[in-house]
Structure 1
Amino acid sequence: MDGITIREATEGDLSSILGLYAAAGIGDSGNFTAEEARAHFSRLKQYPSFHVFVAFLHEVPVGTYELLIMDNLAKRGRKSAVVEDVAVDPQHQGQGIGRAMMEHARKQCQEASCYKLTLSSNLKREEAHRFYEALGFEKHGYSFQIRLQD
């Protein structure tokens, strides 16, 4: 879609990112104070292969996602990647923003020579599952978790 740009997030994007998470119903990020968000973002920026991206539609922030590219000891050291916390402003869903972000993630992974890109999605989010499948993601195995905190 014309008008969509995606770039790595800066500290100045934090309030927009937290707003996108809240609008999309992701986590309780709205409880971060501005100071806490800056401190957390600063810590994340120290991870060499962890990136937060923001999507803009005509210079308005409308989406965000996180990408972790990992070095692996298995698979002869080939890298893999995980997409996390994908959020698109509900008012802008269905306009190609999520597709553009996932294509952006795929390109980042290809440039890093990753052998796979993974993500997980809550079992209840059937519409999201159809979206990811339409982008070429395939169901693979199971995702397991242990809740350590509420």
Structure 2
Amino acid sequence: MTDTAIPTTVLTFRDAVAADLPVLTALYETSGIDTPGFNQPSTVAAAWTRLMQQPGVRVRVAEADGQALGTLTLFVLPLLAHNGQAAALVEDVAVHPSAQGSGVGRALMDDAMALASAAGCYKLALSSNQRRTAAHAFYEHLGFERHGVSFVVPLQETSDAA
């Protein structure tokens, strides 16, 4: 990914494919989700094959002029509570720094909300690391409300925390 000006053409959205993995990991690292060099190609490829091809999992890519500018992962979770209505969860929202503030993040979230709604989800939730205050303001601007309390227990040692 190059640090060029934001393309002026229309954004398009699509599901990611395995060939997108280098671009996706670059987006995670340049946006601050992961530290540079954290993602190992073989580990990411194995996770893609093992986990990200499951029903209800969609890794979305926003692009313009063939350049990936942002991504997120949408999970549709089947539930028995809430009269059997599914819920949706968004994780790993990443927008390239050159495209931040241009509407890419908003468009990605609108895409996720539309997909979740079409899947019959009664809510769309996300969590965000406490240190990402700019992201919190962004989500609140989109209409998200702080809800409940989030708890995390590390299950394996890692140098990055979600």
Interval of TM-score (by shorter of Structure 1 and Structure 2): over 0.9
Query: Considering only aligned residues, what root-mean-square deviation do their CA atoms show, in Å?
Result: 1.7
Change over 3 Å in CA distance of 1:147–1:39 after alignment to 2:
closer
Unaligned runs of 5+ in 1: none
Q: Which is further off, 23-32 or 52-61?
A: 23-32
Structure with greater proportional strand content: 1
Structure in which a larger fraction of residues adopt helix: 1
Task: Tell me, yes or no, if structure 1 residue 67 matches structure 2 residue 74.
Answer: yes
Secondary structure at 1:72 match in 2: coil
SS of alignment partner, residue 53 of structure 2: coil
2:23 is the counterpart of 1:16 = yes
Contact 2:59–2:73 (CA under 8 A) maintained in structure 1: yes
Instruction: Report percent identity of matched pairs.
Output: 43
1:147 deviation in Å?
Answer: 2.0
Q: Secondary structure at the match of 1:115?
A: coil
1:121 correspondence with 2:123 = no
Contact 2:30 2:96 in 1 (8 A): yes
Residue 62 (structure 2) pairs with residue 55 (structure 1): yes
For 2:86, the aligned partner's letter is: K
Distance in 1, matches of 2:66 and 2:20, equals 12
Give the alignment partner of residue 87 of structure 2, picking from 67, 73, 80: 80
3-state SS of paired residue (1:114): coil
Change in Cα spacing, 1:73 to 1:36, as seen in structure 2 (3 Å) is same
SS in 1 for 2:74: strand
> Match of 1:142?
149
The offset of 1:133, in angstroms, is 0.9
Q: Contact 1:18/1:30 (CA < 8 Å) preserved in 2?
A: no
1:45 Cα deviation from its structure 2 partner: 3.8
* Counterpart amino acid of residue 75 in structure 1: H
Aligned pair count? 150
- Counterpart residue number, 1:5: 12
Q: Which moved more, 1:134-143 or 1:35-44?
A: 35-44
Deviation at 1:59, TM superposition (A): 1.4
Q: TM-score w.r.t. structure 1 length?
A: 0.92
Could you say if the C-alpha distance between residues 74 and 51 of structure 1 is closer, same or farther in structure 2, counting changes exceeding 3 Å? same
